[in-house]
A and B are shown apart, each in its own frame.
Chain A
Amino acid sequence: MSYHFEFNWLAQYYPEIVKGIGITLQLILIGAVLGIALGIACAWARALGPAWLKPIVATYVELIRNTPFLIQLFFIFFGLPSLGLQLGELQAANIAMVVNLGAYSCEIIRAGIQSTAKGQFEAGASLAMTPFETFRHVVLVPSLQRIWPALSSQVVIVMLGSSVVSQIAAEDLTFAANFIQSRTFRAFEAYMVSTAIYLILAILLRQALAVIGSFIFPRRAAR
């Protein structure tokens, strides 16, 4: 049981790690912004949209939520080229994350919309707003505010899940860890360090989302 821990490699390989952190952050930034936007659109479609659109969105949401992210990623990166859609690793990773978070945030946001008091829709209608105007100006922001904590958790989950993009050679933090362990044979240390970094990223991301939330929703939550 006398394993000798060895962290000297850190000095040589920290640029890889920094680069990996950068890619991981970039992935979650794009994934979160576009994924939540997609989620809002889908939530609108499922809760208030036209009848023909609902089953389409529902199928998308159920397919994504009931299959592993890894397989979605492989399907996009390896499978789509056979349809003539060639994607780089980062493009594929970005698309996979947007599509994935889009489906999850759709369900979370939809729950927020459906917990809106009926009177809000009626008040909007009685002020001669169209259903979409009521959604856009009256319902959306309070709905998002109610589900912001759940949405934030999902963003963190997706960030942690992004570690599998290393499997299509996107050079994120996990990729850096794999690279380092293959060069140094210090697998345990390399993964310990990257795990610790992920933990810090997760904590920081959660806090950042809380701050962003307090910016977007300066007023107290209401129903």
Chain B
Amino acid sequence: MTEFTLWDILRNLLLATRWTIVLSLVSFVGGGAVGLLLLFARISARKAVRVFARCYIELFQGTPLLMQLFIAFFGLGLFGIAVPAWLAAGVALILWAASFLAEIWRGCVEAIAKGQWEASASLGMGRLQQMRYVILPQAMRIAIPPTVGFSVQVIKGTALTSIIGFVELSKAGTVVTNATFQPFTVYGLVALIYFALCWPLSKSSQILERKLNVAHRNH
């Protein structure tokens, strides 16, 4: 049996961390794009569209991410599509992240004073124009801290993709543990790597939040 040094373990984990980062980025950006569409649907003037968005959000926030991954992995396979783990992982995480981002952003849009809608309406702007020029620019400012904060949830969410066999940091942790029989060290290191990825984001979210509160009166 080969001996594993701490460096061997760490190197293997760090190599797998690349995939955690890639999957996190894809999920966050993709989730943001779908989430934006969902946001527009959620605050649409048409009731049917609003109801659809609400059901979508309720469904994805009211069920375990792990189940969503299973359904993406096994479910799409049923229709004759061979689904590789990375694809199922990406699709499920994007759809899941979208539901949370849409809801976070809706909160920010609703935080904009009603007078802004009224003033822009009385100047003759249509709904899209109001969103584009008046509401979103203001909502985006207050949306930044919670959005950065949610990126931490996305990174942590990618850990679940190990269960459907996507090889990222968590999966590498299991593989390395099975090879080294050092679960305490390996999972300890895995946790520390996640921490190193997440903590800066958590912290900057807090700092941005505080700045926003202090600079409340500035434009």
Contact = CB atoms under 8 A, between A and B. Distances in A.
A and B touch in the complex (CB under 8 A): yes
Interface of A: 1, 3, 62-63, 65-72, 74-75, 78-83, 156, 160-164, 167, 174, 177, 181, 187-188, 191-192, 194-195, 198-199, 202-203
Interface string B57-77: 011001111111011001100
Interface stretch (B37-45, B106-114, B124-132, B159-167): B159-167
B184 A67 contact: no
Interface stretch (B3-11, B46-54, B185-193): B185-193
Contact of B159 (A68, A162, A181): A68
B27 interface: no
User: Sorted from nearest, which 8 A-B pairs have the closest CB atoms?
Assistant: A68-B159, A66-B198, A187-B74, A78-B183, A163-B64, A79-B184, A68-B156, A202-B62
Contact of A75 (B163, B182, B188): B188
A1 B202 CA distance: 44
B184 A80 contact: yes
Contact of A174 (B66, B156, B190, B191): B66
B121 to A, nearest CB: 31
Contacts of A194: 67
A201 B130 CA distance: 39
A70 B183 CA distance: 14
B2 to A, nearest CB: 20
B70 A191 contact: yes
Given A67-B191, A74-B183, A164-B163, A191 B71 contact: yes
Contact of B183 (A62, A79, A177, A191): A79
Given A79-B183, A160-B63, A163-B66, A70 B159 contact: yes
A164 B188 contact: no
A196 B124 CA distance: 46
Contact of A71 (B80, B190, B202): B190
A174 to B, nearest CB: 6
Given A70-B170, A163-B67, A188 B75 contact: yes
Given A199-B63, A202-B63, 12 more contacts: A62-B195, A71-B187, A71-B191, A74-B183, A74-B187, A75-B183, A75-B184, A75-B188, A81-B183, A160-B63, A177-B70, A192-B71
A66 B159 contact: no
> Taking chain B's interface residues, is the majority helix, strand, or loop, or is none over half, making it mixed?
helix
A84 to B, nearest CB: 11
> Taking chain A's interface residues, is the majority helix, strand, or loop, or is none over half, making it mixed?
helix
Contacts of A202: 62-63
A79 B187 contact: yes
Interface of B: 58-59, 62-68, 70-71, 74-75, 78-80, 152, 156-157, 159-160, 162-163, 170, 173-174, 177, 182-184, 186-188, 190-191, 194-195, 198-199, 202
A174 B188 contact: no
A198 B61 CA distance: 11
A17 B51 CA distance: 31
Given A74-B173, A160-B64, A198-B67, A66 B78 contact: no
B163 A187 contact: no
7 contacts: A62-B195, A66-B156, A75-B187, A82-B182, A82-B183, A82-B184, A174-B67
Given A191-B74, A192-B71, A195-B63, A71 B183 contact: no
Nearest to B203: A62
A187 B63 contact: no
Given A71-B190, A187-B70, A195-B67, A66 B184 contact: no
B194 A68 contact: yes
Contact of B187 (A62, A78, A163): A78
A45 B59 CA distance: 37
B199 A188 contact: no
Given A1-B79, A79-B188, A71 B170 contact: yes
